Amino acid sequence: MFGMGITEILLIAIVAVLFLGPDKLPSTMIEIAKFFRSVKGTVNSAKATIEDEIRLSGIKESVMDYKAELENASSELTHMTDLTQIETDVKAIGNDLTLETPAPAAPKEPEAVTFVPKNKEDA
């Protein structure tokens, strides 16, 4: 306990009995135990508070990541639904298509089809 052996503990107990006397020793031991219990409770409370802060900072970081993703998605959605931007993009695509594809040839006039009755003599 506390890096002390049995002999050191006995020596402290003997010195305590000599200085405090047998009358005050039990109440003093109770006060020392209360003090150590109080210190242990304070240390555990501080440890729990630090762990909560660490956990909250992790949660805050993940919330900030989600917020950035939502803002990015929102800006993309705004860009996608902007009608003037869509019109500009469509015109640019139309211009690209007219530059890349050759002009279609003039349509040919359909050939005239005539039906000539066959003579029974030719058959």
Assess whether pLDDT exceeds 70 at residue 106.
no
Output the 3-class SS for 52-93: HHHHHHHHHHHHHHHHHHHHHHHHHHHHHHCHHHHHHHHHHH
pTM for the predicted model, two decimal places: 0.41
Tell me the pLDDT tens digit for each residue of 65-102: 999 999 988 888 887 777 777 778 788 887 777 665 55
* Residue ranges covered by each domain of the chain: 7-96
The confidence score (pLDDT) of residue 115 equals 73
Residue 16: Cβ within 10 Å count: 15
Amino acid at 78: T
Tell me the pLDDT tens digit for each residue of 14-47: 888 888 887 888 888 888 889 989 999 999 999 9
